[in-house]
Structure formats: structure tokens, C-alpha cells
Chain A
Amino acid sequence: DAGVTQSPTHLIKTRGQQVTLRCSPISGHKSVSWYQQVLGQGPQFIFQYYEKEERGRGNFPDRFSARQFPNYSSELNVNALLLGDSALYLCASSLVAGTGELFFGEGSRLTVL
């Protein structure tokens, strides 16, 4: 079975632009979470979606938004990019919304110039 897939794997944007990152969960997983990982730090929680509804939100500005589609895939959108948004964006899927195992993709590496 395919694992969690994320696209694109790498991208470069300039300040003020907008970016959309995509995630396909493991088949049968209904929960998707997004994390931002800056070099040298642990991942920071951005959003969790379960059954197309937002179930949790981290301490990120409103420039960050996400959604989950009927097939449980998800998109993370970031508007008005800042240099500080440069990071690895990780998507994780899980069977349920609780404390079960998270399965991570390899991430999307965003560089903002």
C-alpha cells in the first residue's frame, strides 16, 4: 500500500506569494494533520482535519488555511508568504482523530526568497 504522499517535494517562492501544498493520506485513513518543521526544531502543529472538518488548530496566523476533500486528501494554503515561512511542511495521516499512530509523508520543502 502507498504511504502518505505529498506534493510538491520542493518549491521556491518569493515574499508575498501564495502557495498550496497537497497531501494524500494512506488509504482508509480519515484524519490528516499538517506540521511545520523549521531546521533544528521539532515539527509545529498547524491543523488537523477529520472527516472533512477541522478538529484542531495550532498557533499560526490566519494566512495559513487548509481543507480536506471527500476522498480525505488535503491541501494547506499559505498566503502572503514571509521569509520565516521557509520550512519543511509535513503531512501526517491517521485512522482516527485521537491519539493513534501518525504516519508522515516525506514533506514539502518550501523556500521563500
Chain B
Amino acid sequence: TQLLEQSPQFLSIQEGENLTVYCNSSSVFSSLQWYRQEPGEGPVLLVTVVTGGEVKKLKRLTFQFGDARKDSSLHITAAQPGDTGLYLCFHKDTNAGKSTFGDGTTLTVKP
């Protein structure tokens, strides 16, 4: 089973601050996805990264896939209360037919 370790587990910051959350594994991934889950809802896809070293930007969110494709990070610039939620990294192993989520980072952005 490929484990995805996310850190930090909890993060509470003030509006306007920057933050970075991490997703690490000992395995090499063909691709990795990031989802955000708000209370009472299912996760929603933010991005898919597939190439080692890849950087993708989604407004104030910047996603990076490690050169060795074993880790990924999500950086949020000038966080807003609307960014509050559970951030999950995810990998689908199509050969093994298994899917894995990390345990997530719970982000709270205070006004």
C-alpha cells in the first residue's frame, strides 16, 4: 500500500498570511492529485500533477510535484477565510486497482 503522509495535520492562520502544506511518500507516483473538502461536502479536485518538477498555479494556489515524483506541495498566498477546509492529496494506482488519500491538512483561516 502506498502511503501518503501529509503535514502539518492542522494549520490555523490569519487572513493574508502565506502557507505551505506537504504530501510525502517513499513511492514514486505517475501522478498526484490535490482535493479540497469543506465541511458537509465531498472533496473537490484542485489540480493533477504528472511531471516531475511540475509547477501549476491556480489563482493564489501554487502546486509543485517533486523532481523524483515522491512528494508534492501546495502553497497558498494571501490566504482568505474561503480557503478554509481539508486539503487532501490523492493517488490512484491503476495497476493495483487501489486509491489512496492522505489524512489531509485541516486549514483554518481567521478573518
Contacts and interface: CB of A to CB of B under 8 A. Distances in A.
Given A4-B42, A104-B44, A99 B94 contact: yes
B43 A102 contact: yes
Contact of B31 (A4, A44, A99): A99
Interface residues of A, number: 26
Which of A40, A45, A59 has most B Cβ within 10 Å? A45
Nearest to A6: B42
Contacts of B99: 33, 35, 45, 48, 56, 58
B97 interface: yes
Contacts of A59: 1
Contact of B42 (A45, A48, A106): A106
A106 B41 contact: yes
Interface in A28-72: 33, 35, 40-45, 48, 55-59
Given A98-B94, A104-B42, 10 more contacts: A41-B103, A42-B104, A43-B88, A45-B99, A45-B100, A55-B97, A98-B92, A101-B48, A105-B42, A107-B42
Interface of B: 1, 6, 30-31, 33, 35, 40-45, 48, 86, 88, 90, 92, 94, 96-104
